[in-house]
């Protein structure tokens, strides 16, 4: 078992994530397991109650305590064990269930069992707020005690990293994935430029990586200070190339691409003279430099093959 903790100021956003609400859709893989010192059972109602208590402290800027408790993949953990683990965790971290508001959700969208614990750092009696000092070390100690008391397994070393369990990262990843899937199903979005503009309206910054010939070879997105790779959103650069190539080569170009200027050193008017001499003018279009290119051909792979051929032709010393 491992624990990952973050703090924040937005009860409603945090609890809506816990309840599985994404893009106005309910994730049925989320379930509310328990609450303490709140009367509501819906995310917005719980958030409103917690915010009202948090307002008792004028100095508290981040009253939201959000911890993810995760067990080893394949470990059998009963509902009762999850409830006991959540209650014991709160007590060990100083959040008495008699004084603090708590909501516990279970998510079933991963291979490993895990629960999300939301604690109001401001107690209902107006006492000192829950301390966040040394959270990492305290989490290690708390999870060790929970494992020992409830007889649970230690998480394998390959899962020691908790980077992928950052709830803010998970929210961003899910939102970008949903918007990207919807955009690729929208027949009015017929170019990369239109895709970028669509994302901008949704609060998502799209970054496209291209090779020396201007071919799209990688993507990443940014939403609410969280970076999401294209592969994390379920779409590779080649899939985007294949999708938009059906609308023509211009659909793969974006407004940020600068058309290179051909510098020949000739006097003005030389281009028109060469046009009349039977010499074909040079094209400035990055995607039209090779007459053998086809819409269905993987340009990135061809560029890599060309580099390999050049290396083989180099004389050895």
pLDDT at 223: 87
User: In angstroms, what CA-CA distances link 289 with 11, 183, 266, 280?
Assistant: 55, 30, 21, 12
For residue 7, the cross-strand partners are 65
Where is 195: in which H helix or E strand?
helix 192-201
User: In angstroms, what CA-CA distances link 307 with 55, 125, 241, 301, 314?
Assistant: 63, 70, 21, 10, 11
Cα separation of 184 and 236, whole Å? 13
**Residue 51: both structure tokens together:** 């915010």
Q: Which long-range contacts (CB under 8 A, 24 or more apart) does 120-123 make?
A: 120/11, 120/50, 120/53, 120/54, 120/63, 120/64, 120/65, 121/7, 121/54, 121/60, 121/62, 121/63, 121/64, 121/65, 121/95, 122/53, 122/54, 122/56, 122/57, 122/60, 122/63, 123/53, 123/96, 123/99
CB 105 within 8 A of CB 115: yes
- The total number of residues shown for the chain amounts to 317
Q: How far is CA 22 from the centre of its chain?
A: 13
Give the full edge-to-edge strand order of the sheet including 64-70: 2-8, 64-70, 114-120, 102-107, 30-36
Where is 4: in which H helix or E strand?
strand 2-8
pLDDT at 99: 95
pLDDT < 50: residue spans in the chain:
156-164, 259-297, 317
Q: Which long-range contacts (CB under 8 A, 24 or more apart) does 236-240 make?
A: 237/209, 237/300, 238/298, 238/300, 240/192, 240/195, 240/216
Q: How far is CA 101 from the centre of its chain?
A: 29
User: In angstroms, what CA-CA distances link 292 with 63, 228, 233, 289?
Assistant: 61, 35, 33, 9
Where is 34: in which H helix or E strand?
strand 30-36
Q: Write the pLDDT tens digit of every residue in 41-80.
A: 999 999 999 999 999 998 899 999 999 999 988 888 999 9
Q: Write the pLDDT tens digit of every residue in 208-247.
A: 888 888 888 889 998 887 888 888 877 888 888 888 888 8
């Amino acid at each position: 078992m491992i624990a990952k903790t973050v703090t924040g100021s937005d009860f409603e956003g945090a609890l809506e994530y816990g309840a599985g609400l994404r893009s106005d859709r309910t994730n049925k893989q989320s379930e509310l397991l328990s609450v303490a010192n709140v009367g509501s059972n819906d995310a917005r109602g719980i958030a409103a109650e917690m915010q009202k208590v948090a307002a008792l402290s004028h100095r508290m800027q981040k009253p939201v305590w959000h911890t993810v408790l995760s067990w080893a993949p394949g470990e059998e953990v009963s509902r009762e064990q999850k409830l006991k683990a959540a209650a014991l965790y709160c007590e060990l971290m100083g959040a008495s269930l008699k004084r603090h508001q708590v909501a516990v959700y279970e998510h079933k969208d991963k291979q490993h069992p895990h629960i999300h614990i939301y604690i109001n750092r401001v107690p209902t009696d107006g006492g000192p707020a829950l301390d966040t000092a040394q959270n990492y070390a305290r989490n290690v100690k708390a999870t060790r005690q929970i494992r020992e008391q409830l007889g649970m397994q230690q998480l394998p070393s390959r899962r020691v990293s908790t980077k992928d369990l950052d709830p803010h990262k998970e929210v961003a990843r899910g939102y970008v994935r949903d918007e990207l899937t919807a955009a690729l199903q929208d027949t009015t979005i017929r170019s990369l430029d239109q895709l970028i503009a669509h994302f901008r309206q949704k609060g998502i910054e799209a970054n496209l990586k291209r090779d020396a010939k201007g071919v799209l070879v990688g993507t990443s997105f940014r939403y609410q200070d969280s970076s999401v790779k294209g592969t994390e959103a379920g779409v590779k650069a080649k899939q985007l190339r294949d999708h938009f190539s059906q609308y023509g080569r211009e659909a793969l170009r974006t407004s940020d691409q600068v058309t290179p200027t051909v510098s020949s050193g000739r006097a003005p008017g030389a281009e028109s003279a060469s046009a009349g001499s039977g010499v074909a003018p040079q094209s400035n279009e990055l995607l039209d430099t090779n007459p053998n290119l086809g819409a269905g051909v993987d340009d990135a792979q061809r560029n890599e093959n060309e580099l390999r051929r050049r290396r083989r032709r180099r004389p050895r010393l």
